[in-house]
Amino acid sequence: MPGRPGRRPAPAPHGGRRGPPPGADPLTGRERENVRLIARGLTDAKIGAQLLIPPGTATTHVADIQSTLRPGNRVGMAARARETGQLGTGAPRP
């Protein structure tokens, strides 16, 4: 009940981030920008410089992408983004 003291809503899955509705794009526009730069091999600091954001913000975006795509590492992140059509280079693979 909303009015009960001490009760909190259940935590969102995947690090506090609620997932998109089924069929929706799993990444935000900013996350797609980040993953494109990750696929080019840029570090968080270089991503921050490229997007004019602090390196810590780039690191946060990378962590959010990892929790969404569950790639294992940056190479897997780029591969998973490409497979799901997140890089905008061709149709998603089945």
Query: What CATH number does the domain containing 73 carry?
Result: 1.10.10.10
The reply to whether 15 falls in a domain is no
Which has the higher per-residue pLDDT, 27 or 7?
Answer: 27
- Count structural domains, the chain: 1
Task: Please state the rounded mean pLDDT for residues 70-81.
Answer: 86
The beta strand positions in 1-94, using DSSP E, are: none
The reply to whether 32 falls in a domain is yes
**Residue 71 clears pLDDT 80, i.e. is over it:** yes
The reply to whether 4 falls in a domain is no
What per-residue confidence (pLDDT) applies to 91? 41
Mean pLDDT computed over every residue of the chain: 77
The reply to whether 48 falls in a domain is yes
As a residue count, the chain comes to 94
38: helix, strand or coil: helix
pTM > 0.85: yes or no: no
Name which of 71, 73, 42 is nearest 55 in CA terms.
Answer: 42
Q: Give pLDDT tens digits for 14-33.
A: 445 555 556 667 888 999 99
The reply to whether 50 falls in a domain is yes
| CB neighbourhood size of 24 (10 A) | 8
The domain of 66 spans 28-83
Instruction: Note whether 48 and 60 are within 8 A (CB).
Output: no
